[in-house]
Structure 1
């Protein structure tokens, strides 16, 4: 692992200070996972998905690291997302490996509780090299 590490986690556009504790814990968890030898993609996915969070709402006592931010009702991400103009929740999620530039993203998706899992699956499929030239078959997730 490099001596220099930067971890960025965005939990959606919202005007409150409830994000501080979940964000700090998510970044600390990601750093811990990196120090154990995991990849950056694994660390970021776990930080976004499963954090042990004690929010002001006491939504849960303990949760695995990879579901925390997207399942926290005080964040505008995943479960706690604001409704769009049509009255639906639409989420975005993306991951990129700094090692090889592999990228997976979903945008404006409805019906996914944890869209980061779909982005991770796209990265995994891309890195498995299923087709020539690193191409992956089209994927559709409901």
Structure 2
């Protein structure tokens, strides 16, 4: 584990538990964008958001342009969140037809609220100047077709959930037709010692319409405070039960090394539950996942390190 000066600018990003390390290059570009923003005088929050925007635009991650299709094969629902150690807090849940949900979450932080959802979130995006955006790529179509085959077969699409449950509780406008479950996230520290986190996800597949995971829930998928920042990825229904991001943050605030806290957080879950964590503290950083997880870490000196 590498020790760092208290105010050494740093950015860590992940591309989702269960992703491929072949996608580390996108994380490296995202981290580089964040570091560039810090070098240009931006805050930790600016850096974290810029990093997540890069991953939303990449198309390979389950966020923004790469978000999974819902079970009806046409709807895309996305969540995103931002938080920093100075008090900024904003999130969106089940938002549709926007290109960069994390930018809308950042805009929500300037309103009297911290979380907007569904149609209200999309209407807010329009009034805030974000244009309508809805594109479905061949990659998204291919992943949806594979999911439909899994749901129609004997393989289990979601750990601990029978495939028939999604047909029994179907709430889309179309009749049932018969798994990616990841997130992107970034944590950043600026030269003033401020911390920030930004997260974005295209949701979980399979899921019912209106499903919200851990990504926009403070303390579950994300948390930032005076002692550091934490971003989490994995199966939200399990993550929220442990308030994982805040739990890990509290460990580092109490003096636990960041890598130890990340490892301990992952160890809370059984092997069949996807989970990954990135942690940035005052003097160190850590990452852990029980699955492959695209990852990059960069400091103000532009050093790059490979995470777990």
- TM-score, normalised to structure 1, is 0.65
Cα distance in structure 2, aligned partners of 1:137 and 1:94: 9
Residue 85 of structure 1, CA deviation: 2.7
Residue 86 of structure 1, CA deviation: 3.7
Cα distance in structure 2, aligned partners of 1:91 and 1:83: 10
- 1:70 maps to 56
| Contiguous gaps of at least 5 residues in structure 2 | 1-5, 123-308
Aligned length: 114
Distance 1:92 1:12, change over 3 A: farther
Q: Contact 1:93–1:119 at 8 Å: present in 2 too?
A: yes
Please provide the CA RMSD for this pair: 2.7
Residue 12 of structure 1, CA deviation: 4.1
Residue 8 of structure 1, CA deviation: 3.6
Q: Contact 1:29–1:47 at 8 Å: present in 2 too?
A: yes
Structure with larger RCO (C-alpha < 8 A, sep 6+):
2
Runs (4+) of structure 1 exceeding 4 A deviation are: 136-139
- 2:144 maps to none
Q: Which moved more, 1:12-21 or 1:75-84?
A: 12-21
Cα distance in structure 2, aligned partners of 1:39 and 1:31: 10
2:36 matches 1:32 = yes
Q: Contact 1:104–1:120 at 8 Å: present in 2 too?
A: yes
Give secondary structure in 1 for the equivalent of 2:121.
coil
Residue 22 of structure 1, aligned match among 16, 22, 26? 26
Distance 1:18 1:76, change over 3 A: farther
Give secondary structure in 1 for the equivalent of 2:38.
helix
- 1:45 maps to 49
Q: Contact 1:93–1:106 at 8 Å: present in 2 too?
A: yes
| Contiguous gaps of at least 5 residues in structure 1 | 50-67, 127-134
- TM-score, normalised to structure 2, is 0.33
- 1:111 maps to 97
